[in-house]
Chain A
Amino acid sequence: MDRSAIENTIVTMRPQLLRFARMQLRSDAAAEDMVQETLMAALEKSDSFEGAATAKTWVFAILKNRITDEFRRRARRPSSESMDLHEPEEESPGAFDALFDSRGHWRESPPTWSNPDQSLEQQQFWDVFQLCLDGLADKPSRVFMMREFLELTTEEICKELKITSSNCWVLLHRARLGLRECLAQRWFGENEQ
């Protein structure tokens, strides 16, 4: 594959990369900068890629590294976003207790979602998904991004953020339940009748 074809492949990744970065960074400007830097780094190396697939994999890996660095920086930054990873983590304090009765059973049993896979093809779904991600608290959000978007293991996340594994699991659980609730209400129309 010649160089210009590879360059073309790299440039056309831009929208997908932007969506990926925006969903995690909660800042369009930061996402744009990071994607721009990643694309420029990839274009400089465009000679060395064997084909389009290698180039795409490399570009994604670089962007994921940059986002991981950014999360590491944000986690170290104390104040502004009230990010204290060392606060004691109780079992989902309060937030989801309303979902269960005193014996720990569902107050309202979650129904099956109809055709969830079809949703993935709809632009509106992604807008709602973004909205739900943005609605998560900082800590669960960051840990969820690292686990699911950046595909780090729990061990890696613990090391990066200096938290315990059980703390990490609680935060992931909270993020998943929060996203489930949000999508259920805003997209799949639970509790509407």
Chain B
Amino acid sequence: MMSCKDAVKLMSENQDRPLRLPERLGLGLHLVICRGCRATRRHFDFLRAAVRKISTPDS
């Protein structure tokens, strides 16, 4: 089973490159059982959403 440390690294890289199939599968499996990593994934998504809010013109 993938460690949390590796899972977090892959979740970050997932924002920058498409993951390979084995990486996707391993990460998916890990996320099913790991609440902390699921929370971290939402935190990373939140960081991106926060920056988007500043870097896009107000409509």
Residues of A within 8 A of B (CB): 13, 16, 19-20, 23, 53, 56-57, 59-60, 64, 91, 99-100, 103-106, 109-113, 116-117, 120, 126, 129, 147-151, 154, 165, 168-169, 172-173, 176-177, 179-180, 183-184
Contacts and interface: CB of A to CB of B under 8 A. Distances in A.
B39 A16 contact: no
Contact of A60 (B12, B42, B55): B55
Interface of B: 3-6, 8-9, 12-13, 15-17, 34-37, 39-40, 42-44, 46-51, 53-59
A103 B54 contact: no
B4 A16 contact: no
Nearest to B17: A154
B8 A103 contact: no
Contacts of B5: 99-100, 104-105
B30 to A, nearest CB: 11
B52 to A, nearest CB: 8
A173 B12 contact: yes
B57 A59 contact: yes
Contact of A176 (B4, B35, B47): B47
A100 B3 contact: yes
Contacts of A111: 39
A180 B57 contact: no
13 contacts: A53-B57, A109-B35, A111-B39, A148-B51, A149-B55, A154-B16, A154-B17, A169-B16, A173-B12, A176-B12, A176-B15, A176-B44, A180-B47
A179 B47 contact: yes
Contacts of B8: 173, 177
A110 B40 contact: yes
